[in-house]
Structure 1
Amino acid sequence: MIAISRFELPLAEGEKFRVELEAVRDVLAQATGFISGVVGQNLDEPTLWVLTTEWQNVGSYRRALSSTRAKLEAIPVLARAIDEPGAYE
Protein backbone atom coordinates (compact mmCIF):
# COMPACT_ATOMS: atom_id res chain seq x y z
CA MET A 1 0.00 0.00 0.00
CA ILE A 2 1.03 3.59 -0.53
CA ALA A 3 0.52 6.44 1.94
CA ILE A 4 0.66 10.01 0.65
CA SER A 5 0.74 13.02 2.96
CA ARG A 6 0.71 16.47 1.37
CA PHE A 7 1.61 19.70 3.12
CA GLU A 8 1.38 23.40 2.34
CA LEU A 9 3.50 25.92 4.18
CA PRO A 10 5.22 29.27 3.61
CA LEU A 11 8.22 29.15 1.28
CA ALA A 12 10.50 30.49 4.02
CA GLU A 13 9.87 27.37 6.12
CA GLY A 14 10.76 24.96 3.31
CA GLU A 15 14.28 23.89 4.16
CA LYS A 16 13.49 23.39 7.84
CA PHE A 17 10.39 21.42 6.90
CA ARG A 18 12.35 19.17 4.53
CA VAL A 19 14.57 18.17 7.45
CA GLU A 20 11.47 17.46 9.58
CA LEU A 21 9.87 15.32 6.84
CA GLU A 22 13.08 13.39 6.30
CA ALA A 23 13.18 12.68 10.05
CA VAL A 24 9.58 11.42 9.89
CA ARG A 25 10.50 9.15 6.99
CA ASP A 26 13.48 7.84 8.97
CA VAL A 27 11.28 7.08 11.99
CA LEU A 28 8.77 5.23 9.82
CA ALA A 29 11.56 3.38 8.02
CA GLN A 30 12.37 1.58 11.28
CA ALA A 31 8.92 -0.05 11.31
CA THR A 32 8.28 -3.61 10.17
CA GLY A 33 6.67 -3.61 6.74
CA PHE A 34 8.18 -0.33 5.53
CA ILE A 35 9.38 -0.61 1.92
CA SER A 36 10.37 2.91 0.88
CA GLY A 37 9.77 6.58 1.48
CA VAL A 38 10.28 9.76 -0.52
CA VAL A 39 10.14 13.44 0.44
CA GLY A 40 9.45 15.94 -2.32
CA GLN A 41 8.76 19.60 -2.99
CA ASN A 42 6.37 20.52 -5.79
CA LEU A 43 8.19 21.97 -8.79
CA ASP A 44 5.36 24.30 -9.83
CA GLU A 45 4.11 25.33 -6.38
CA PRO A 46 7.14 25.28 -4.04
CA THR A 47 4.93 25.81 -0.99
CA LEU A 48 3.61 22.24 -1.47
CA TRP A 49 5.45 19.23 -0.04
CA VAL A 50 4.79 15.48 -0.02
CA LEU A 51 5.84 12.46 1.98
CA THR A 52 5.11 9.23 0.11
CA THR A 53 5.71 5.90 1.82
CA GLU A 54 5.22 2.35 0.59
CA TRP A 55 4.26 -0.50 2.91
CA GLN A 56 3.81 -4.26 2.69
CA ASN A 57 0.20 -3.85 3.80
CA VAL A 58 -2.15 -1.45 5.55
CA GLY A 59 -1.62 -3.19 8.89
CA SER A 60 2.11 -2.43 8.78
CA TYR A 61 1.37 1.23 8.11
CA ARG A 62 -1.14 1.50 10.94
CA ARG A 63 1.14 -0.26 13.41
CA ALA A 64 4.00 2.05 12.45
CA LEU A 65 1.88 5.11 13.18
CA SER A 66 0.79 3.72 16.54
CA SER A 67 4.32 3.12 17.82
CA THR A 68 5.52 5.26 20.71
CA ARG A 69 8.35 6.75 18.67
CA ALA A 70 5.99 7.69 15.82
CA LYS A 71 3.56 9.29 18.27
CA LEU A 72 6.37 11.42 19.73
CA GLU A 73 8.38 12.25 16.61
CA ALA A 74 6.32 11.68 13.45
CA ILE A 75 2.70 12.42 14.32
CA PRO A 76 3.31 16.08 15.30
CA VAL A 77 4.67 16.71 11.79
CA LEU A 78 2.12 14.52 10.01
CA ALA A 79 -0.68 16.36 11.81
CA ARG A 80 0.19 19.38 9.65
CA ALA A 81 -0.82 17.51 6.48
CA ILE A 82 -3.59 18.72 4.22
CA ASP A 83 -6.82 17.02 5.35
CA GLU A 84 -7.49 14.57 2.53
CA PRO A 85 -7.51 10.79 2.04
CA GLY A 86 -3.95 9.52 1.67
CA ALA A 87 -3.94 5.71 1.75
CA TYR A 88 -3.92 3.87 -1.59
CA GLU A 89 -3.95 0.23 -2.58
Structure 2
Amino acid sequence: MLNPMIAFIRYSVPDARAEEFVEAATSILGTLAAQNGYLRGHLGRSADEPDLWAIVSEWEGAGFYRRALSAARMDMYPLMTLMINEPSAFEIVVTA
Protein backbone atom coordinates (compact mmCIF):
# COMPACT_ATOMS: atom_id res chain seq x y z
CA MET A 1 0.00 0.00 0.00
CA LEU A 2 1.24 3.47 -0.86
CA ASN A 3 1.74 6.10 1.79
CA PRO A 4 -0.39 9.17 1.01
CA MET A 5 1.44 12.47 1.07
CA ILE A 6 0.95 16.21 1.05
CA ALA A 7 3.04 18.74 -0.83
CA PHE A 8 3.66 22.39 0.00
CA ILE A 9 5.27 24.65 -2.58
CA ARG A 10 5.73 28.07 -1.03
CA TYR A 11 6.26 31.33 -2.86
CA SER A 12 7.25 34.86 -1.84
CA VAL A 13 5.13 37.08 -4.11
CA PRO A 14 5.36 40.88 -4.14
CA ASP A 15 1.92 42.50 -4.09
CA ALA A 16 2.51 43.95 -7.55
CA ARG A 17 2.73 40.39 -8.95
CA ALA A 18 -0.14 38.84 -6.96
CA GLU A 19 -2.69 38.88 -9.80
CA GLU A 20 -0.22 37.36 -12.27
CA PHE A 21 0.78 34.78 -9.65
CA VAL A 22 -2.81 33.67 -8.97
CA GLU A 23 -3.38 33.12 -12.69
CA ALA A 24 -0.18 31.08 -13.09
CA ALA A 25 -0.74 29.11 -9.87
CA THR A 26 -4.28 28.25 -10.99
CA SER A 27 -2.79 26.83 -14.18
CA ILE A 28 -0.28 24.79 -12.16
CA LEU A 29 -3.08 23.36 -10.02
CA GLY A 30 -5.00 22.43 -13.16
CA THR A 31 -1.99 20.59 -14.56
CA LEU A 32 -1.39 18.80 -11.27
CA ALA A 33 -5.08 17.85 -11.00
CA ALA A 34 -4.89 16.09 -14.37
CA GLN A 35 -2.13 13.75 -13.14
CA ASN A 36 -2.50 10.23 -11.81
CA GLY A 37 -2.53 9.97 -8.03
CA TYR A 38 -3.77 13.53 -7.44
CA LEU A 39 -6.38 13.77 -4.67
CA ARG A 40 -6.95 17.50 -4.14
CA GLY A 41 -5.18 20.84 -4.12
CA HIS A 42 -5.43 24.42 -2.91
CA LEU A 43 -3.86 27.81 -3.45
CA GLY A 44 -3.50 29.72 -0.20
CA ARG A 45 -2.20 33.05 1.01
CA SER A 46 -0.80 33.68 4.48
CA ALA A 47 -3.17 35.57 6.74
CA ASP A 48 -0.17 37.02 8.59
CA GLU A 49 2.30 37.66 5.75
CA PRO A 50 0.36 38.53 2.57
CA ASP A 51 3.45 38.08 0.36
CA LEU A 52 3.64 34.40 1.37
CA TRP A 53 1.61 32.00 -0.82
CA ALA A 54 1.43 28.21 -1.06
CA ILE A 55 0.22 25.60 -3.47
CA VAL A 56 -0.84 22.65 -1.32
CA SER A 57 -1.73 19.30 -2.84
CA GLU A 58 -2.52 15.79 -1.65
CA TRP A 59 -1.33 12.65 -3.44
CA GLU A 60 -1.74 8.89 -3.29
CA GLY A 61 2.05 8.62 -2.94
CA ALA A 62 5.36 10.43 -3.43
CA GLY A 63 6.01 8.81 -6.83
CA PHE A 64 2.80 10.30 -8.22
CA TYR A 65 3.79 13.74 -6.95
CA ARG A 66 7.28 13.58 -8.39
CA ARG A 67 5.99 12.51 -11.81
CA ALA A 68 3.38 15.29 -11.67
CA LEU A 69 6.11 17.87 -11.05
CA SER A 70 7.71 16.81 -14.32
CA ALA A 71 4.39 17.27 -16.12
CA ALA A 72 3.90 20.73 -14.54
CA ARG A 73 7.46 21.94 -15.15
CA MET A 74 6.56 24.30 -18.00
CA ASP A 75 3.68 25.83 -16.01
CA MET A 76 5.94 26.24 -12.98
CA TYR A 77 8.92 27.75 -14.80
CA PRO A 78 7.66 31.40 -14.86
CA LEU A 79 7.25 31.33 -11.06
CA MET A 80 10.62 29.76 -10.21
CA THR A 81 12.15 33.07 -9.10
CA LEU A 82 9.34 33.44 -6.54
CA MET A 83 9.59 29.88 -5.19
CA ILE A 84 11.06 29.33 -1.73
CA ASN A 85 13.69 26.60 -2.04
CA GLU A 86 12.82 24.02 0.62
CA PRO A 87 11.58 20.40 0.79
CA SER A 88 7.99 20.16 -0.41
CA ALA A 89 6.92 16.50 -0.03
CA PHE A 90 5.64 15.22 3.32
CA GLU A 91 4.41 11.72 4.09
CA ILE A 92 1.13 11.72 6.01
CA VAL A 93 1.80 10.06 9.36
CA VAL A 94 -1.42 10.76 11.30
CA THR A 95 -4.86 11.90 10.16
CA ALA A 96 -7.38 13.07 12.73
Q: TM-score normalized by structure 2?
A: 0.82
CA contact (8 A) 2:24 2:75 kept: no
After superposing the two structures, state which structure 1 stretch, 8-17 or 48-57, moved more. 8-17
Report the identity percentage. Answer: 40
After superposing the two structures, state which structure 1 stretch, 6-15 or 49-58, moved more. 6-15
Residue among 18, 29, 43 paired with 1:25: 29
Q: Which runs of 5+ in 1 are unaligned?
A: none
Q: Deviations over 1:33-54 (max 9, x none)?
A: 0000100111111111000010
The alignment yields a C-alpha RMSD, in angstroms, of 1.3
Q: Does 2:31 align with 1:43?
A: no
Residue among 48, 61, 67 paired with 1:63: 67
Segments ≥4 residues shifted beyond 4 Å: none
SS in 2 for 1:82: coil
Superposition deviation, residue 84 in structure 1:
1.0
Q: TM-score normalized by structure 1?
A: 0.87
